[in-house]
Structure 1
Amino acid sequence: MTAVVLFWVILQGAGWALVYYPHLPGGFTYSAGINPAAYSPAAEALYVSFVTLGTLGFGDVVATDPWIRLASPAEALTVFALLTAALTWFTQIYPPLSRRRSLALEIKGLADIGYAGHLDSLDPVTASRVLDALTAKVATVRIDFTQYPEGFYFQEEDPTLSLARQLPYLLKLRDAAIEHKELDVQLSGEQLAKALVQLTNKLKKDFLASGDDPGKVIAAYAAAHGQNPRS
């Protein structure tokens, strides 16, 4: 992300340098001891642009052309807009990533103890509560992919934090809940199933364009993130 912001700054500086280039050196005055003929116009345009972009205000090169005097403050304002947009993006993207990682860890914990295989032995109220909580978190992740689609392209190096790897276990948990003897658990399983369909439909429509059912979409999701789906 730092590289992206740096690239934005470089593009801004280079773009404004093209604006200044035709006006050098005639549209500017130079401090005593500075000979504009000693520098290439291209290098001088970049210097003026980045000094203005950084709001440094050295005063060694000052615009005298009226149009350039208006353009220079506009360039300085763009850096504030750029930094504000970057900081806003940083603060917005991390909470969705944290929610996704949290769900991945929770699924991993359930998978490690074989929760789906013990569902019949659990108190139905407790089982329903766990399933409903998972359903709510799956729905939240779907909303995150809608509001912050760039978050899909953030891949996890740690497989324990990768939702793409851990998500397949919810299919097993869904099936165990739907086959449960208690109606409350069955209904919770149905809700989880619908949430998974909505999530995988979102992934298929916006990012993957592959898979005919939740299982295949989730497998494609794992492959896109370089993960082996957890069975």
Structure 2
Amino acid sequence: MGKTTLLKCMCGILRPDSGMVSVDEEEVKGLSRMEVARRISYVPQRSSATRTTVFDSVLIGRRPHMSWSLTKKDMAVTRDVIRAVGLGDLAMRNVDEISGGEFQKVQIARAMVQEAKVLVLDEPTSSLDVANQHMVMRLLVDTVRERRICTIMTMHDINLAAYCSDELLFMKGGRIFARGPPSIIDAKLIREVYGMEAKVINHDGVPLVVPSLGDAHALRHMDDGRAVPHEHGLK
């Protein structure tokens, strides 16, 4: 099972072959799509920008709570979240006219207006440059802590994950390999999960993974300046 498949099972999009998914001791598979959406909001890895305004795109997230007409609460929640994520000046702009970082904010805002207890995100920073990665993660961390939302996300950037997470779960071969706070990250874990040598430095209480220079031949450099272990699949 891959990471995206695992998230889709959590959200009730796919049915697991065994086991169960529950929110507040309520099993997801017994709920309708709308009932699931009131409990779990999902931000997929890829989503196409459409010819709708930022406001309307975020408002769609209220659908699990809507009847046949909009309420004052639907409008107020949408306005409040748009302001909270810093999109107030872009509310009437078309989504296909904004930047990648701004579009990611739209997706997060749409998930927030669902007012679900659990927020699930699949690679929320995968297509963003370094500045926008940190902007989006800072927004997520601040928002979920303020609203006290349980948040689950998949990430390939170990350092970014360690910086913003309370608990990490490493998968290998479709199975859970290790689980715990960021402090579980050490050179041995990196070697066992990714097959590469690395130093792990404590930076202000957060582990920072630095690939060993001895593995330099295994690194391929991306256009945005990042280096990833090509042979071992760290993306």
Q: TM-score, normalised by structure 1?
A: 0.27
Q: When you count helix as a share of all residues, which structure comes out higher?
A: 1
- Structure number with larger C-alpha Rg: 1
